């Protein structure tokens, strides 16, 4: 096969790798291990676009390189196959989500395999496989049956807690969680409790527990949504209204691990930005919990957490979350209507919207007052949606002179803003949070500085029983239930209203078949439709399923031992593979998947089930490939209805059934830049003629174009880039693309419609995705792999331009022709390499190793291109150069490398077992050095000397040469300055 045919070569080697399981990793190897992992994908129906493989290509290069370095490499792939999209499709079509998911996975596997990734497919896992989620359920049961002992600073089995209760009751038990949720009892009382009472007493200590929790409830989808799935009060999928609702939910007590999660970040080789995002999300702060008694409501105390207890005298109002449990009790009759209206409006906003909206001030007065615990001053109690019930205590001590958000609230509602420090400035314009100066208007701490005042106030509050010093975290416990069908069933059943864990021997608890995939008529989750679905035929199961992140929180462990029926991972396999050495994935998972995975791993560590300290040692966030979007421009114009010469109405043209009219980008620009208005008048005339064809004139009624606004002339609309070539639209294809455009018209149609363009995120919604299948069919997978790496540094965002791949394709053909000159027969010789050839080769050996170790793949591709150009110019066809060069290229272009490796006489498919070429620095040392030679600093000539020549030898050679006779003008030489390896300067 003398002509390079990537499609033929690639199919050949992909089949070979699959048949021979070339990349199968061994759990029993004397080689050092290397575990490289991709964040596994959710298999959507759209398949991959060219932006998706970027990280996969990079991790595959590393995996192949590490094999050449003699390591036993684990490089697996699987699928995060539970999720809402498949369920929504099932609701719309009635097709079981498993069918859709299986079809999507088949597409993904085909696309991944055709790109030549060296995955060990024997280890593939799918979170929706019952043999996988059996162990997800098993881990949940371990959480359900554990509590966090603050004395030992780790999770323990619930039996150790019950033993403490039996011995000494609840006194002295230090457990993670809120003490307010628990009841005090003696050992004697514990012994007298019924089974149900004991379980109720234990529940608030469990790491997996039920609690009424505010959630994002979407009635249109019939499920709870995460904050990420809500945009502007609507569900991201479908655009249905979402409201905050108090519902019983399963939660995982991730807050027990807050401090360990924070400290562990210091040991990780992760991007600083990701670590900082997790630190901020965990949000450790040191402050005080303060109690504000409510006036006129005995026992109705409001607790707030503050990091600035020193400012308490400046607290001129309290702000409660609209969902706060005391709101109904505190609201006065006069304020009831306003409060109810405000709460209803708040329910339509997500937590994320409420937290991020700093521009708009809103709130409502409850009519009630609390007493400031330090001086008894009345403090009005307000509601505002920027306070969240699930964060802290759901109440804020508002100090407007020291906090800008409180300041804006106070300004808006005309509340007092007293100064509390003599160092505060410009309080008529903004808040000043300074800790400098001395306190004023502050009772017992007047004249004190920050540290003294803080200590004094905490001591005072503790003495009065109205507060205490406290370390707090922003991190909240993770809501674990979803009212969906397509997820892992939570292995819990109910007996007499009490939750019990399913016996481990009864796992997996498999999803039952149901008739429809939406909630029941009574509002129960879809699992409520299952018939005869009871635990051991008697007890009702939990009807919620687990969230999507459950299965992805531990999948990296299952890859180590995916077929084990008796354990989620064997002790031997876990100990051998240990931590993931390189984890590749998107930064968008920083406070979701990455945090939950660390939490589950630390929990498993507490139980002695894993041996490391963290799951992922090194993390790289690949950048995003940006698409080049194209736009068409639909004219915005109105039509006036004229009857008997009088304008009766003005309507949008589209409302009259007039087809959409599009204007080319070049003409649109001309009109908008036309100061004289001649072009817009010309356009008006064209449109007037146009509407006559669709809104015919009659004797009494006529239609005319209303005056056009050149600055709001057209609406840009995304158009599929596949029907645009060099920004020129295929108009016939455009009309067929969408039914609403099949009668589209183009003003002043001269046969060419020019689209606009913009570089933005590659997305199906923007119609700017490029299917890798098309590029692989045209250029080959190796070309696509190299091109994506060549686009720029891995971590950066990079614009996509399909035209650029042709250059990489040409490079691969040039590489092929080093072996097959002029696409002829193999012409590799056994001649020894010249110094110039060895210099080129060893420069590549050194550079590629350095680049891969530093994850700088784009510069490696450049190095290959330069080397091939040099070797082509040298006419190189020598095995001594081309064989190691093929090894170097193999991580980047594995199909071409395998083909050439076999042609060189090696066993088919054996390049992965070869050794990385040895770098020898002596081949980069120059034999001779060319020196510029100057007279009084002005270069006159160049002379070549041996690289080993001394300064004295060079000076002697210059003095004895004809250089002085030619350029010295007969002047005497004062001295000769030699800078070794750089230059010679003769001073005359």
Lowest mean pLDDT among 459-463, 670-674, 748-752, 956-960: 748-752
The whole-angstrom separation of Cα 213 and Cα 319 is 20
Q: What is the mean pLDDT of residues 801-812?
A: 92
What are the CA-CA distances from residue 958 to residues 286, 593, 952, 983, 988 (Å)? Answer: 75, 70, 10, 12, 13
The whole-angstrom separation of Cα 442 and Cα 463 is 18
Query: 457 near 310, Cβ under 8 Å?
Result: yes
Lowest mean pLDDT among 55-64, 358-367, 569-578: 358-367
What pLDDT score was predicted for residue 916?
Answer: 98
* Tokens at 4, concatenated: 């390079």
The whole-angstrom separation of Cα 561 and Cα 567 is 9
What are the CA-CA distances from residue 823 to residues 2, 11, 205, 368, 819 (Å)? Answer: 5, 20, 73, 89, 9
Per-residue pLDDT at 213 exceeds 70? yes
DSSP string, 102-141: HHHHHHHHHHHHHTT----GGG--BTTSHHHHHHHHHHHH
| Band of pLDDT at residue 474, cut at 50, 70 and 90 | confident
The whole-angstrom separation of Cα 101 and Cα 86 is 7
Domain topology for 31-128+255-282+550-622: Rossmann fold (3.40.50)
With left for phi above 0 and alpha for psi between -120 and 50, is residue 631 left, alpha or beta? beta
Q: What is the mean pLDDT of residues 927-932?
A: 86
What pLDDT score was predicted for residue 899?
Answer: 98
Domain ranges of the chain: 31-128+255-282+550-622, 151-254+478-540, 284-473, 627-766, 805-915, 928-987
Read off the pLDDT of residues 763-795 as tens digits, 9 standing for 90 and up.
888 899 889 999 999 999 999 999 999 999 999
Burial of 252 (0-12, 13-18, 19+ CB in 10 A): buried
* Tokens at 474, concatenated: 């922003």
Lowest mean pLDDT among 647-656, 667-676, 973-982: 647-656
Type and span of the H or E element at 690: helix 678-692
Give residue for tokens 């007298």. Answer: 192
DSSP string, 491-502: -EEEETTEEEEP
The correct CATH number of 284-473 out of 3.40.50.10320, 3.90.740.10, 3.40.50.300, 3.10.105.10 is 3.90.740.10
- Which of the pair, 18 or 522, is modelled with greater confidence? 18
Q: Nearest Cα to 780, choosing from 894, 910, 900?
A: 894
| Band of pLDDT at residue 18, cut at 50, 70 and 90 | very high
Q: List phi, psi (to 5°) of 64.
A: -65, -40
The full length of the chain comes to 988
| Band of pLDDT at residue 965, cut at 50, 70 and 90 | confident
Asked whether residue 164 is marked as a ligand-binding residue, the answer is no
The whole-angstrom separation of Cα 68 and Cα 845 is 12
Cα angle at 970 between 965 and 975, to 5 degrees?
Answer: 85
The whole-angstrom separation of Cα 288 and Cα 864 is 61
What pLDDT score was predicted for residue 83?
Answer: 86
Query: 350 near 216, Cβ under 8 Å?
Result: yes
The whole-angstrom separation of Cα 472 and Cα 69 is 47
Give residue for tokens 């969240």. Answer: 388
What pLDDT score was predicted for residue 739?
Answer: 85
Domain 928-987 part of CATH 3.10.105.10: no
For residue 630, the SS3 value is strand
Query: 511 near 546, Cβ under 8 Å?
Result: no
What pLDDT score was predicted for residue 530?
Answer: 95
Q: Is the pTM of this model over 0.85?
A: no
> In the 3-class helix/strand/coil scheme, how is 221-247 assigned residue by residue?
CCEEECHHHEECCEECCCCCECEEEEE
What pLDDT score was predicted for residue 698?
Answer: 59
The single-letter DSSP state of residue 162 is: H
Query: 457 near 445, Cβ under 8 Å?
Result: yes
Query: Looking at 486-613, which runs of residues are DSSP E strands?
Result: 492-495, 498-501, 534-535, 539-541, 582-585
For residue 324, the SS3 value is coil
What pLDDT score was predicted for residue 374?
Answer: 95
Q: Nearest Cα to 369, choosing from 419, 326, 407?
A: 326
Query: 532 near 163, Cβ under 8 Å?
Result: no
Q: What is the mean pLDDT of residues 476-500?
A: 94
Give residue for tokens 């005497």. Answer: 972
CATH architecture of the domain with residue range 805-915: Orthogonal Bundle (1.10)
Query: 42 near 83, Cβ under 8 Å?
Result: yes
Q: What is the mean pLDDT of residues 87-92?
A: 83
The single-letter DSSP state of residue 823 is: G
């Amino acid at each position: 096969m003398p002509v390079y045919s990537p499609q033929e070569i690639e199919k050949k080697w992909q089949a070979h790798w699959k048949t021979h399981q070339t990349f199968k990793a061994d759990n029993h190897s004397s080689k050092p291990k290397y575990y490289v992992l991709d964040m596994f994908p959710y298999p959507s129906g759209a398949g991959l676009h060219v932006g998706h493989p970027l990280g996969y290509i990079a991790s595959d290069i590393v995996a192949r390189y590490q094999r050449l370095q003699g390591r036993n490499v684990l490089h697996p792939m699987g699928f995060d196959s539970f999720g809402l999209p498949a369920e929504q499709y099932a609701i719309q079509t009635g097709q079981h989500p498993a069918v859709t998911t299986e079809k999507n996975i088949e597409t993904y596997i085909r696309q991944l395999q055709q790109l030549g990734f060296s995955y060990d497919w024997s280890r593939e896992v799918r979170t929706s496989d019952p043999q996988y989620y059996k162990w997800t359920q098993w881990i949940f049961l371990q959480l359900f049956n554990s509590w966090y002992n603050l004395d030992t600073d780790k999770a323990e089995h619930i039996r150790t807690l019950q033993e403490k209760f039996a011995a000494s009751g609840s006194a002295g038990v230090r457990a993670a969680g809120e003490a307010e949720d628990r009841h005090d009892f003696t050992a004697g009382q514990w012994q007298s409790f019924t089974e149900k009472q004991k379980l109720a007493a234990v529940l608030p200590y469990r790491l997996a527990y039920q609690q009424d929790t505010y959630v994002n409830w979407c009635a249109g989808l019939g499920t709870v949504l995460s904050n990420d799935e809500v945009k502007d009060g609507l569900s991201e999928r479908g655009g249905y209204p979402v409201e905050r609702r108090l519902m019983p939910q399963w939660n995982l007590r991730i807050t027990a691990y807050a401090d360990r999660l924070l400290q562990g970040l210091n040991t990780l080789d992760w991007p600083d930005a990701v670590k900082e995002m997790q630190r901020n999300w965990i949000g450790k702060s040191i402050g005080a919990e303060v109690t504000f008694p409510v006036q006129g409501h005995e026992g109705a105390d409001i607790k707030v957490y503050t990091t600035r207890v020193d400012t308490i005298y400046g607290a001129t109002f309290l702000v409660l979350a609209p969902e706060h449990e005391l709101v109904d009790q505190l609201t006065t009759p006069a304020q009831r209507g306003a409060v109810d209206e405000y709460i209803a409006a708040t329910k339509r906003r997500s937590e994320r919207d409420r937290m991020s909206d700093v521009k708009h001030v809103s709130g409502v007065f409850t009519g009630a007052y609390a007493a400031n615990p330090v001086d008894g001053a009345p403090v009005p109690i307000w509601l505002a949606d920027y306070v969240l019930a699930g964060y802290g205590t759901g109440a804020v001590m508002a100090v407007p002179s020291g906090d800008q958000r409180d300041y804006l609230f106070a300004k808006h509602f005309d509340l007092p803003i007293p100064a509390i420090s003599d160092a505060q400035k410009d309080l008529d314009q903004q808040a000043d949070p300074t800790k400098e100066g001395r306190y004023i208007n502050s009772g017992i701490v007047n004249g004190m500085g920050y540290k003294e005042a803080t200590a004094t106030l905490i001591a005072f509050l503790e003495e009065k029983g109205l507060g205490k010093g406290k370390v707090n975290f922003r991190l909240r416990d993770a809501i674990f239930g979803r009212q969906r069908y397509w997820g892992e069933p939570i292995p819990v059943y109910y007996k007499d209203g009490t939750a019990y864990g399913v016996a481990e021997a009864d796992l997996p608890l498999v999803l039952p078949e149901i008739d429809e995939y939406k909630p029941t008529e009574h509002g129960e989750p879809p699992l409520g439709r299952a018939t005869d679905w009871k635990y051991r035929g008697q007890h009702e199961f939990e009807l919620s399923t687990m969230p999507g992140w459950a299965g992805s929180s531990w999948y990296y462990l299952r890859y180590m031992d995916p077929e084990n029926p008796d354990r989620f991972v064997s002790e031997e396999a876990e100990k051998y593979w240990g931590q993931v050495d390189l984890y590749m994935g998107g930064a968008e998972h920083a406070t979701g998947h990455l945090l939950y995975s660390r939490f589950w791993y630390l929990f498993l560590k507490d139980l002695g089930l894993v041996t490391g300290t963290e799951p992922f040692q090194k993390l790289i966030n690949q950048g995003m490939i940006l698409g080049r979007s194209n736009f068409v421009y639909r004219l915005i114009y109105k039509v006036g209805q004229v009857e008997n010469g009088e304008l009766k109405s003005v309507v949008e043209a589209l409302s009259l059934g007039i087809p959409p009219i599009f204007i080319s980008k070049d003409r649109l620009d001309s009109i908008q830049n036309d100061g004289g208005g001649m072009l817009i008048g010309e356009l008006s005339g064209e449109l007037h003629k146009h509407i006559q064809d669709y809104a015919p004139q009659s004797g009494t009624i006529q239609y005319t174009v209303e005056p056009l606004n050149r600055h709001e002339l057209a609406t840009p609309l995304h158009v599929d880039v596949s029907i645009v070539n060099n920004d020129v639209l295929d108009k016939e294809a455009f009309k067929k693309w969408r039914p609403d455009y099949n009668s589209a018209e183009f003003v002043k149609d001269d046969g060419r419609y020019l689209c606009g363009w913009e570089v933005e995120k590659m997305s199906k919604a923007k119609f700017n995705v490029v299917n890798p299948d098309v590029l692989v069919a045209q250029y080959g997978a190796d070309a696509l792999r190299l091109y994506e790496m060549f686009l720029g540094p891995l971590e950066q965002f990079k614009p996509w331009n399909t035209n650029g791949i042709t250059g990489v394709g040409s490079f691969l053909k040039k590489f092929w022709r080093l072996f097959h000159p002029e696409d002829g027969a193999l012409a590799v010789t056994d001649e020894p390499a010249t110094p110039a050839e060895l210099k080129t080769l060893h420069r590549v050996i050194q550079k590629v190793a350095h680049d891969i170790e530093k994850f700088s793949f784009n510069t490696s591709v450049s190095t290959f291109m330069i080397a091939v150009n040099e070797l082509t110019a040298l006419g190189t066809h020598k095995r001594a150069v081309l064989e190691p060069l093929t090894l170097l290229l193999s991580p980047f272009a594995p199909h071409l490398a395998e083909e050439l490796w076999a042609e060189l006489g090696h066993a088919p498919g054996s390049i992965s077992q070869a050794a990385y070429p040895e770098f020898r620095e002596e081949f980069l040392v120059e034999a001779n050095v060319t020196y510029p030679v100057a007279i009084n600093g002005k270069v006159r000539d160049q002379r070549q000397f041996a690289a080993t020549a001394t300064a004295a030898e060079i000076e002697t050679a210059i003095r004895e040469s004809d250089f002085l006779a030619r350029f010295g003008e007969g002047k005497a030489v004062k001295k000769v300055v030699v800078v070794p390896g750089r230059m010679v300067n003769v001073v005359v």
